[in-house]
Amino acid sequence: MARLVKPYGDTQNDGKVQLSFTLPLEWSEAADEAARQLAGKMGFTDVQVVDGRRIASGFSFFVVYASTAQGIDVENISASSARAHAMTMEEIDAYVTEHVGRKIRVAGACIGTDAHTVGIDAILNMKGYKGDYGLERYHAFETYNLGSQVAVEELVRFAQEKELDALLASQVVTQKGSDVKNFTALGELLEAQGIRDRIVLICGGPRVTNRLASELGYDAGFGRGTLPSEVAAFIAVTLVQRLRLAAR
């Protein structure tokens, strides 16, 4: 059964939204009116330009409240998540001991020219993130944090040399699609080397979603706020599934 949901201001189905944007226009009453009409063309009604002002010569900034007539049928919405296997560090360690019987070899890196290691460090470093220990702390993992600006070729070489079970590629910089290019290059090179199937391939970064990851042919994608244990559980569970399939 369809269940239509609209934005909620202070009344069910009022459809209220707030917008803010900059127009490359010197501020004037006419600029406010331009902002109002623009919001109308976006499909909004009851448009109120509650603030409009000059922020630089030739540029004005607007805050707009408006209503939308659009709603969304939430019964037909699904979003994949890689964060489904909730386990603690101790549980994951025990799970891996029981089902894998050796340490899982994992490496992570910021690939390409990206130098922002905040994300990969949060997942891998012993200290972890938000009180959730990083993979280095687990008995279940042998962890290699290769740091920043690692060439895709180097990472693949490393994966072969260490016979890695899982690879984490991190991208924070997204300018001009550099993240997607680098992720794609990594996936393709792993394929070309014939080792894609035996590696749990994961991408991460503030703008990464699991949907993007599956589009790129990755096993999972983790975005902002991800805890190390969520990644650890995904790796463990996925690897165990693969080992079972391979044993059949």
Partner 1 sequence: MELRIDRGCVERCRTLAAAIADPVEEFIAVHSTVAVERAVLRLVGVDGVTPDEVPLPNAIVDSLSAARLCGGAATAFGKGLAETGLAPQALAEAIAAGGHRLDEFEATPESAARGALRPFVEAALARIAGRREERAAYLARLPQLPPPLLYVIVASGNIYEDRTAAVAAAEAGAQVIAVIRSTGQSLLDFVPYGPTTEGFGGTYATQANFAIMRAALDEVGEKLGRYVMLTNYASGLCMPEIAVMAALERLDMLLNDSMYGILFRDINMQRTFVDQHFSRMLNAYSGIVINTGEDNYLTTADAVDQAPAVLASQFINEEFAHRAGMPDRQIGLGDAYEIDPDRQDGFLYQLAQAQLAREIFPEAPLKYMPPTKHMTGDVFKGHLIDAMFNLTSVMTGQNIHLCGMLTEAIHTPFLGDRALSLENARYIMNTARHFGDEVVLRPGGIVERRAQSVLSDCETLLERVASLGLMKAIESATFADVTRTPEGGRGFEGVFGRAAEYWNPFEEALKPKMASATVPS
Catalytically active residues are 127
Task: Provide the minimum distance between the beta carbon of 209 and partner 1 in the complex, in angstroms, as a whole number.
Answer: 12
The whole-angstrom separation of Cα 150 and Cα 41 is 45
Between 71 and 206, CB nearer to partner 1:
206
- Report CA Rg, the chain: 23
Between 93 and 114, CB nearer to partner 1:
114
CB 100 within 8 A of CB 39: no
DSSP 150: B
The dihedral of CA 125, 129, 133, 134: what is its sign? negative
Between 84 and 118, CB nearer to partner 1:
118
DSSP, collapsed to helix, strand or coil, labels residue 11 as coil
Task: Provide the minimum distance between the beta carbon of 51 and partner 1 in the complex, in angstroms, as a whole number.
Answer: 11
Between 5 and 56, CB nearer to partner 1:
56
Task: Provide the minimum distance between the beta carbon of 62 and partner 1 in the complex, in angstroms, as a whole number.
Answer: 9
Task: Provide the minimum distance between the beta carbon of 150 and partner 1 in the complex, in angstroms, as a whole number.
Answer: 11
The whole-angstrom separation of Cα 16 and Cα 12 is 10
Which tokens sit at 163? 């016979």
The dihedral of CA 215, 230, 159, 196: what is its sign? negative
CB 120 within 8 A of CB 110: yes
Interacting residue ranges for partner 1, rule: CB under 8 A: 20-22, 55-59, 61, 112-115, 117-118, 121, 125, 127, 147-149, 173-176, 178, 206, 224-225
DSSP, collapsed to helix, strand or coil, labels residue 117 as coil
Between 49 and 104, CB nearer to partner 1:
49
CA dihedral (176, 178, 180, 183) in degrees, to 10, reads: 180
Residue 246 amino acid letter: A
Task: Provide the minimum distance between the beta carbon of 63 and partner 1 in the complex, in angstroms, as a whole number.
Answer: 10
Which tokens sit at 166? 């899982």
